[in-house]
Amino acid sequence: QVTLRESGPALVKPTQTLTLTCDFSGFSFSTRGMCVSWIRHPPGKALEWLALIDWDDDKYYSTSLKTRLTISKDTSKDQVVLTMTNMDPVDTATYYCARSQWVGDELDYWGRGTLVTVSS
Amino acid sequence: EIVLTQSPGTLSLSPGERVTLSCRASQSVSSNYLAWYQLKPGQAPRLLIYGASRRATDIPDRFSGSGSATDFSLTITRLEPEDFAVYYCQHFDTSSYTFGQGTKLEI
- Amino acid of residue A23: D
Tell whether the model's pLDDT for residue B25 goes beyond 90: yes
> Alpha-carbon dihedral of residues B86, B87, B89, B90, nearest 10 degrees?
60
Confidence of residue B11 (pLDDT cuts 50, 70, 90): very high
| Closest chain A C-alpha to B49 CA, distance in angstroms | 9
Confidence of residue B56 (pLDDT cuts 50, 70, 90): very high
Averaged confidence pLDDT in chain B: 95
Please indicate whether, in this complex, the C-beta atoms of A110 and B92 are within 8 angstroms of each other: no
Q: Can you state the percent helix, strand and coil of chain B, rounding each to 5? A: 5, 55, 35
Whole-angstrom distance, CA of residue A101 vs CA of residue A104 = 9
Whole-angstrom distance, CA of residue A118 vs CA of residue B5 = 29
The pLDDT, as a whole number, for residue B95 is 87
Tell me how far the alpha carbon of residue A88 is from its chain's centroid.
17
Whole-angstrom distance, CA of residue B90 vs CA of residue B76 = 18
The pLDDT, as a whole number, for residue B93 is 87
The pLDDT, as a whole number, for residue B90 is 97
Please indicate whether, in this complex, the C-beta atoms of A110 and B44 are within 8 angstroms of each other: yes
Block means of pLDDT (10 residues each) for chain A, 120 residues, are: 97 98 97 97 96 97 96 96 98 98 96 98
- Amino acid of residue A101: Q
Whole-angstrom distance, CA of residue B34 vs CA of residue A20 = 28
Confidence of residue B28 (pLDDT cuts 50, 70, 90): very high
Tell whether the model's pLDDT for residue B107 goes beyond 90: no
Instruction: Return residues 20-39 of A near B (CB < 8 Å).
Output: 37, 39
Tell whether the model's pLDDT for residue B85 goes beyond 90: yes
Picking from B45, B29, B10, the residue whose alpha carbon sits closest to that of residue B96 is B29
The pLDDT, as a whole number, for residue B55 is 98
- Amino acid of residue B10: T
Whole-angstrom distance, CA of residue A82 vs CA of residue A120 = 22
- B39: which chain A residues are within 8 Å (Cβ-Cβ)? 41, 47
Whole-angstrom distance, CA of residue A77 vs CA of residue B97 = 26
Q: Please, which residues have CB within 8 angstroms of residue A44's CB and are 6 or more apart in sequence? A: none
Please indicate whether, in this complex, the C-beta atoms of B43 and A112 are within 8 angstroms of each other: yes
- In a mutagenesis test of the A interface, which of B92, B94, B101 is the best target, namely the one with the most A β-carbons within 10 Å? B92
| Closest chain A C-alpha to B19 CA, distance in angstroms | 21
Whole-angstrom distance, CA of residue A82 vs CA of residue A21 = 7
- B101: which chain A residues are within 8 Å (Cβ-Cβ)? 45-46
User: What is the mean pLDDT of the segment spanning B57-74?
Assistant: 96
- In a mutagenesis test of the A interface, which of B32, B92, B97, B104 is the best target, namely the one with the most A β-carbons within 10 Å? B97
Whole-angstrom distance, CA of residue B90 vs CA of residue B49 = 10
CB-based burial, A19-56: b 16+ in 10 Å, e otherwise: ebbbbbeebebeeeebbbbbbbbeeeebbbbbbbbbbe
